[in-house]
A and B are shown apart, each in its own frame.
Chain A
């Protein structure tokens, strides 16, 4: 049986969100077949035992339903949003696509081609290209170096057999978490039993990797792309994981550093100097250790000094931490803004599913730890967890003055030419 679903009711919406999430994602991709899990979920979305793909798409529309898929390394999820009056029919339809029936080769080939086309189009987005390059550089040699979306080579090599293998590792009751939010009937037995029946009880083994150990030292990874007026800059080091005792302390530190418009990074890079439209830091929390990183997009002529400034700010954060005033202001902000993470049924359901999948703290525990955090505990966490010495720096920009400036720096420099495939 499916585990107890997460339910958050709102009588006034007229629509309902249903999330079916599995606690394995692209980590299940076979070797050299990156993107397989993404293709799996997209194929499931299109194939029905009794309808063609075109008929199925039209049926979703008739129900006023939108079904999207979302794959990260750790999670593969189907998100259904539907007009409440059609929930039962949409949930039945969803249950009917969960098993690999009617997976036609022709539909699969079409899907692969569309995925390849999408991947090509994504190369237009500099921020996306830079983030991918950073992720690959940061996780070099680790299982997470493989990207969830795949690339032009891996996507083309995925087979239907690969998808069946991945399906067996992911789509099962013991991996599944179900959440409903919005306006839905009191009795959900039919909805739940249909979904449960379509899932195998147990998934095949899909172990999670150990935490990544970053190679010591700083290095710069420069992706050259022609005709850029701006450079994307990302600087990252190892961050946190959900089970770290000091996770909330680190979260406070990150927020003060780059989590808001008024934080240090934005103040120095944007407000004082106008060097970037935005400058922020990020601290994702998951069951395995994720990177902490900060990013900005500076005009080509400002990119080298902007990079230097960001590194100095990171050094200062690690060495000296937060002031008392910063700590007080950040704690106040996090406490006062916390209601917004829970002010709708969808957000409450989302929070509970994050707890289940990623080990996030329940709100009560989070607020208690937030209250208890001191300047010492926060600064200890910053000094212990973050590093300004062992960092990966990714820059995407054009050759010329920027490349000369990067070559003049002491860090080892690796250059990758942007390719259009």
Chain B
């Protein structure tokens, strides 16, 4: 029935139904123009989350044009053909919607959560801005200033932001993961209208997008709306991605940066498995075991026992191409970075020599299970995880699949993955050095 009224490119094909927790199913459809649609019914509240995930991120940029994907994310909120500038946000707020967007290495995503009675309005607006965005010079100039301020906030005046940017630049000499998603300042300043127009035409196409709709929805009505509003868009020819793989790193790299901060910091980056690699789940569990919570290996070793660090965190990049396994160490006041790094290496060596215990494994699994379940509490959380896994891997049930995979990981897997990825010769190390500044140069406090 939906297809009988469908516009030229709006015919829908049912792809599959996937279980997503108890009694819940993700229903996947494909539109004739290539748009992927995933629907999950959740009647726990009269609200809907609507997500649009584009398969374009900073990875798709080129030197001299870094930050374009992120800048364009900002521009998507400006003007739509037939509507005045800012109308998108005005209409969303009138509906009581909460909306936002984000850009990262592999994707750009847009999201709204709203009372379910506004679905038709949201679908129409989202389709219109995919199809008919208008970018004018004054808005471009203004958003460039906003993005420059965002860069100052998140990077240039932020110790962790600057250090992380340097880590990726050091670790990736050829692959585009080496430049920051927000872009280098000089590139942001240089963007012109042609850059944005070209980017929009190339990447903002239905065959480069997945829509995820979660909530108290009427499936037939939802599909009908999507077909009507997105069905006039034809598929585009997407640019062939010519990303150069990062060559294997054969020796440790080091970088130092002096910043206004109180203590030394260390950031370490080891090559990580790609998100779709079977080792990614194991690596995630390994890092949780090493750094997750106060009973973790590194917290006990570096913070409590050796007292060389005030904090140790770890993270495995969830990226389509191999990213980094990152560790961040805040060195205790008065101690050198070498003392902390030596302690880290010794703790790591014990893990490489001998597998973690069953108890450690169980604890880490429980922590990760809690984290995954917590992410699925809201319709927005569900839409995010479905959209993320669909966008990168075309596996919308990915988060629950990970739960199943986690249960199967054993100590031998952890040992294997630790030895394969956590090698000194393959790592990059950034040291943040507290910059000395003469406090006496500051003016004396004046009384009010």
**Residues of chain A whose beta carbon lies under 8 Å from any beta carbon of chain B:** 10, 12-15, 54, 57-58, 60-66, 81-83, 110, 113-114, 117-118, 120-121, 123-126, 219, 224-230, 260-262, 267, 270-277, 297-299, 329, 332-340, 342-344, 346, 399, 403, 412-421
Contact = CB atoms under 8 A, between A and B. Distances in A.
B377 A54 contact: no
Contacts of B413: none
B94 A229 contact: no
22 contacts: A12-B21, A15-B373, A54-B295, A58-B359, A61-B366, A61-B367, A62-B362, A83-B373, A117-B311, A117-B330, A118-B310, A121-B310, A262-B86, A333-B94, A333-B96, A336-B118, A344-B45, A399-B442, A413-B446, A414-B448, A419-B439, A420-B262
Contacts of B310: 114, 117-118, 120-121
Nearest to B289: A61
Contact of B98 (A54, A124, A340): A340
Nearest 6 A-B pairs (CB), nearest first? A336-B96, A274-B145, A117-B310, A64-B366, A417-B442, A337-B96
Nearest to A125: B158
A225 B304 CA distance: 32
B293 A57 contact: yes
A231 B302 CA distance: 35
Contacts of B96: 332-340
A232 B448 CA distance: 20
B44 interface: yes
B379 interface: yes
A113 B335 CA distance: 14
B98 A421 contact: no
A12 B42 CA distance: 11
Contacts of B293: 57, 60-61, 66
B303 interface: yes
Contact of B374 (A81, A260, A297): A81
Contact of B149 (A60, A83, A274): A274
A63 B261 CA distance: 38
Nearest to B154: A277
Contacts of B141: 274
Contact of A336 (B45, B95, B157, B369): B95
Contacts of A419: 439
A337 B366 contact: no
Contacts of B148: 274, 299
A341 B153 CA distance: 29
A106 B22 CA distance: 48
Contact of A124 (B95, B114, B261, B364): B261
A63 B366 contact: yes
A13 B44 CA distance: 11
A139 B367 CA distance: 40
B93 A226 contact: no
Contact of B47 (A62, A224, A343): A343
Interface string B141-155: 111111011101100
Contact of A271 (B44, B86, B311, B444): B86
B333 interface: yes
B156 interface: yes
A421 B262 contact: yes
User: Which DSSP category, helix, strand, loop or mixed, fits chain B's interface?
Assistant: mixed
Contacts of A272: 142
A329 B93 contact: yes
Contacts of A420: 262, 434, 439
A340 B363 contact: no
Interface residues of B, number: 79
Contacts of B448: 219, 412, 414
Contact of A229 (B86, B157, B303, B443): B157
B90 interface: yes
A361 B94 CA distance: 23
B249 interface: no
Contacts of A228: 157
A284 to B, nearest CB: 20
A123 B295 contact: no
Contacts of B304: 54, 110
B222 to A, nearest CB: 19
A272 B303 CA distance: 47
Contact of A262 (B93, B144, B303, B374): B93
A224 B437 CA distance: 12
Contacts of B263: 120-121
Given A228-B157, A343-B47, A57 B294 contact: yes
B447 interface: yes
Contacts of B378: 343-344
B153 A230 contact: yes
A336 B94 contact: yes
B159 interface: yes
Interface in B138-185: 141-146, 148-150, 152-153, 156-160
A123 B160 CA distance: 12
A126 B149 CA distance: 14
A230 B152 contact: yes
Nearest to A329: B94
Given A12-B44, A15-B374, A58-B295, A416 B142 contact: no
Contacts of A64: 366-367, 369-370
A399 B443 contact: yes
B345 interface: no
Given A65-B370, A113-B307, A329-B93, 7 more contacts: A12-B23, A60-B293, A61-B366, A63-B366, A123-B262, A275-B149, A297-B149
Contacts of A83: 366, 369-370, 373
A262 B89 contact: yes
A227 B93 contact: no
